[in-house]
Every structure is written in C-alpha cells, then in structure tokens.
Chain A
Amino acid sequence: MLKFTEEHEWLNIEGDVATVGITAHAAGQLGDLVFVELPDVGAVFSKGDDAATVESVKAASEVYCPLDGEITEINEAITADPELVNSDPTGAGWFFKLKLKNVADADGLLDESGYKELIG
C-alpha cells in the first residue's frame, strides 16, 4: 500500500512496517543533496516529529515522521551517497523503516492520485 503525506514523504506499507522516503517532487525541489542525517534505530517518533535532515548546497530541510512509530532500520547507503535520494527517490533512496504504532492511521494519508493532485 503506497501512501503520501502533504509534506512530500512516501510510505510503502507492508504489514505494520512502513518504508519511508521523500517523493521525486520533493527531491527535485531540494536540488542536489550533499548530506543526509538519519535517526537512530530504536528511536520512537510521533507523527510530525523531525525524523531526518537533508541538506542541499544551499539549505537544510527536515523530513518529518509521517505516522507514530519506531525506527527499525535506516538506509546507510544514502548517508554515504546522498545523491541516491535525487537519482532514485522512491527506490534506493529510501530513508528508514518505521514500525507503525497504529496501521489504521495510514488511512488518513493521501493515496497516489491525491498526492498528484496536491502537487499539480
């Protein structure tokens, strides 16, 4: 199940674990990323908390935790090579896996067509 937030994160939900990244639209807006800071495995976040930071040449931006949950895995490949987020935002450029506190909360997020409408 693919879901999206209005803050331009995508979630691929399998069972009660969501793989989270930023959308191609967001990656394009940010420009070439030069640094990514990921959360610690085991960190517990509420929806809307700052979970990661991405930095382009010119600015830093926060990546928000899209739902309540616990970080179970992070993608070290993007800290080693932040460009992966630009080149493959919905594939190799994923950020972290989140064990959802309540899977049903995902119903409140956008689906693909809703997100496409949002970004025009």
Chain B
Amino acid sequence: MDETAATKKTPLHALHLSLGARMVPFAGYDMPVQYPAGVMKEHLWTRASAGLFDVSHMGQVTIRARSGKYEDAALALESLVPVDILGLAEGRQRYGFFTDDNGGILDDLMITHMDDYLFVVVNASCKDEDIKHLQDHIGDTCEITLLDRALIALQGPRAVSVLAELWADLAYMKFMDVRHCRLHDVSCLVSRSGYSGEDGFEISVPADKAEDIAKRLLEHPDVQPIGLGARDSLRLEAGLCLYGNDIDQTTTPVEAALEWGMQKARKTGGVRAGGFPGSARILDELDNGASRRRVGLKPEGKAPVRGHAKLYADAEGKTEIGEVTSGGFGPSVESPVAMGYVPVSCAAPGTPVYAEVRGKFLPVTVSALPFITPTYKR
C-alpha cells in the first residue's frame, strides 16, 4: 500500500472516528481496521448478533444497454464473465469474475439483474480498472456508470430482526435476492448477501444519507460496528476469496475452486458456451481439471500460518508444492485457519502438508472449505 497516495474517505469516515476506530489505508481509502472492542470480539459479535460494516469503498456500477433492453446488457457483460447473466432472474444477484485472455481473474464481483439494467459491485482496489475494462469492451453498446453511493453491510443472525424492528421486514427475501426498499424514508437497494458466511444484508444508500442510516442501525442494541480486521477473519473462515490474496491474474477460476460461479449455459455443451476472455483455457480446465487447486488448510498446532508462507510435501522442506494465500486465527473455530494452492495430487481433504513459519516446517492438514457452516437463508 502506497501510504503517500492521497487517501479517500467514505461517507461514514467521520462516524468511524467518532466511534474510536483505528484507521488504516486500504485500497486508497482511510478505513477502520478495528473499533475499541477489538478484532476477536467484533468477529464473535458478528457470528452471534449483527455487525455493521462500511463497504462504501467498493465500486457500485450500473450497466445499461443503449438499446434499453436488459437482454443486450446481459449479453454484453457475458462477453467479459463466464457467468450466466441472461438467465439471471430479475431481482436476483449472482457472484462472478472478470477473466483475462489467459484465464486469470481480473476481479470478482456481484452481479444483479435490476429491471432493465445490471447493478454490479466490484472491489475497491480494482474499480478504476474494471470501469476501463467495461468501457473498452462494451462501452459502445452499454452505458457504464460508477454510482456515488455508500454501501453498508449488516451481517449476522440478528440482522434480519434488526431491520424488521427498525424499518422493514425483509425476512421474505431469500439469499441473493435484491429489492428496492425505504429505510428511514431513504430509498435503498438491499441485497440479502454479504461476505461473512452469515445471513445478512448489503444496503446501498445515497452517500448523504449513509451516516444517518448507519447511526440508526448502531443505536440498536444488537448492532456493533465491525472493522476490516474481523471482516478478513470472517470471510477466511467462510472460505471466501479476497481479491489480491487468494485470487488474481495468475489464478484461474478452476484453480481457485470457483466453478460454482460458472453456470451450465456458459460451459462446454451449454447454450452460450465460452465467449468470455480466456474461455479456451477455463473450459479445458473445467473438463479436464487444473493442475493446482485452492484448498482449506488447517494448521495442527496453535501457530497461525499467514499469507505467503510456502507449503512443502515433507517436514524437511525439500519439496515446495505451493503457497498460503490467506491465513490467520479463526475466532469462531478457535484455531488457526488458512487457504492456499496445492497440486491436485495434494488437494484431497486430509492430505498432510507442511508450512514454513519462521524457519520451521509446521504440519498442516488440507481441509474442506468453509471452516464454519454458513447460515445463508436459501
């Protein structure tokens, strides 16, 4: 992170400071890494009650076909992602990723079918390049607009009851549903999704109303503010990828174990198979397998194994086989947890491997992901 770069502020910046947050530069923004409660308590609070996260640094983008037709916007975006967008029902959201010509991942994103246009959320660190990518490839047929809105995630088992008590009973929404609704007389776009492994909502609000909405939520006794530190440990336990750590241009969707993000229509034999950047390699890997795989890693001891730790087949560190991409301590599983890449021959859960930590080779067991059981309301 280049700390000399001008840091941007989200609409909730002043609120974070008033709540005593410790701020850090993240993806060009000055963001709360933790509040006075600390990462451990924030993490456990989110799993037990409801945590409020400021994710306004992420990019909120609309894609509208110049023809005005959803189908044209959907087909245009399908030229950049291996995801079935045409078949996405109205008011439904889907996870996806931009790929490059080598099959690498340029960014991951959430894609929503609004009535006649697409609403997508992209990572803060990639949003400028994503916009350019969209402009360069589908800008002739679609209007690409970066919205000036805040994004608040309310995550955890109490999120639904908190929203019902304050403004709107959204219990009828299923996981990955998206609806317009009014919260505190503010027109919001609410999705039942998030990145914590918990039931929860992401609420897109006009920037000038964000602090008001966030404060109202924080007044509820079940809600606490949660920083980037706990966001990271929550998503790691949930086995969710962080762009730039677990996935990037050097990893393909199949290597990253993200095949579930590619629907039948876009795979070999599907009605709109291929037609996205890197499709030759990605479809080949789907059909025949990739040589390496993202897996869960459970260190046997108490020492956390962090990102960039090298993985070995043997306890002497003779045969290097891969690398940890994210790792830390999982407060809910009460032990260290990690993710990383290993050859497919080592990818079966239960396979013993070794991670190098401060010159020692610590035993680690390849593990199924996620480390916790998600509580999404399907």
In this complex, the interface size class of chain A, counting residues with CB under 8 Å from chain B, is: 10 to 19
Q: How far is the CA of A45 from the CA of B62 in the complex (A)?
A: 59
Which residues from 37 to 57 on chain A have a C-beta closer than 8 Å to any C-beta of chain B?
37, 53, 55-57
Report the stretch among A28-36, A67-75, A110-118 that lies at the interface.
A28-36
A31 in contact with B304 (CB, 8 Å) = no
Inter-chain contact B303/A35, CB cutoff 8 Å: yes
Q: Is the CB of B38 within 8 A of A32?
A: yes
A59 to B39, CA, bound (A): 11
For the complex, give the distance between the alpha carbons of A87 and B33 in Å: 22
**B103 to chain A: closest CB distance in Å?**
32
Q: Is the CB of B303 within 8 A of A57?
A: no
Q: Which of A32, A35, A58 contacts B232 (CB 8 A)?
A: A58
Residues of chain A with a CB closer than 8 A to B233's CB: 57-58
Task: Give every chain B residue within 8 A of A37 (Cβ-Cβ).
Answer: 303, 358
Q: Is the interface of A mostly helix, strand, loop or mixed?
A: strand
Q: Which residue of A lies closest to B331 (CB)?
A: A57
Residues in A neighbouring B304, C-beta threshold 8 A: 34-35, 55, 60
Known contacts A57-B229, A57-B233, A58-B229; A31/B358 CB under 8 A: no
| Interface size counted on chain B using CB atoms at 8 A | 20
A31 / chain B contacts, CB cutoff of 8 Å: 34, 38-40, 229
A55 near B329 with CB under 8 A, answer yes
Q: Specify the chain B residue showing the minimal Cβ separation from A56.
A: B39
Residues of A within 8 A of B34 (CB): 31
Could you tell me the distance in whole angstroms from the C-beta of B357 to the nearest C-beta in chain A? 9
Interface centre among A31, A53, A58 (most CB of B within 10 A): A58
Which residues from A are CB-within-8-Å of B303? Answer: 35, 37, 55
* Bound form: Cα–Cα A57–B328 in Å: 6
B302 interface residue (CB < 8 Å to A): yes
Chain A min CB distance to B238 (Å): 15
Bound-state Cα–Cα, A60 to B41, Å? 18
* Chain B hits for A53, CB < 8 A: 358
Chain A contacts for B230, CB-based, 8 A:
57
Contact, CB under 8 Å: A32 / B39: yes
Give the residues in chain B near A56, CB-CB below 8 Å: 39, 329
Question: Is B306 part of the contact surface with A, judged by Cβ < 8 Å?
Answer: yes
Answer yes or no: B43 CB below 8 A from chain A CBs.
yes
Partner of B43, one of A35, A55, A57, A59: A57
B209 CB, nearest partner CB in chain A, Å:
31
Closest to B334 in A: A34
A contact residues around B33 at 8 Å (CB): 58
Please report the C-alpha to C-alpha distance between residue A53 and residue B360 in the assembled complex, in whole angstroms.
Answer: 13
Using a CB–CB cutoff of 8 Å, the interface residues on chain B facing chain A are 33-34, 38-41, 43, 229-230, 232-233, 302-304, 306, 328-329, 331, 336, 358
**Nearest 9 pairs of A and B residues by beta carbon:** A32-B40, A34-B329, A57-B39, A58-B229, A31-B38, A57-B329, A55-B304, A35-B302, A57-B233
Residues of A within 8 A of B (CB): 31-32, 34-35, 37, 53, 55-60
